[in-house]
Structure 1
């Protein structure tokens, strides 16, 4: 499951849940975040993008949580 949410002043907003999970055990995965004026586009390995509204001004993604996954590297471009 993928959960998209934002936090402001120590309070979480209304989250959006996606019931699918496109990552596969043992495979390399690339996830891209594209920031537009009013939304973030998250490009997943399946080719199907997710869109999440930017609820307040932000300078990026300061927090990304993953459970039960082994993170090898993060590349920021």
Structure 2
């Protein structure tokens, strides 16, 4: 019998603009996740809040002993030097 691996989602969040944005978009797409661009601290906080809210059903299922999918995210921070 073939062992089934859990599904994994890769979500990426970019803070600021950078040429690597398309790479992060592609990573999220290939990883069955979502890409989010944040341009300020308020948007960044909202992105993390959205991610945390998406985890609530998974955490509840895990606490009940159910099998859940894995979630992975990446944050890319670009610092502008003026």
When Rg is computed on C-alpha atoms for both structures, the one with the higher figure is: 2
| Bigger RCO of structures 1 and 2 (CA < 8 A, at least 6 apart) | 2
**Normalised TM-score (structure 2):** 0.28
TM, length-normalised to structure 1:
0.29
Q: Which has the higher helix share?
A: 2
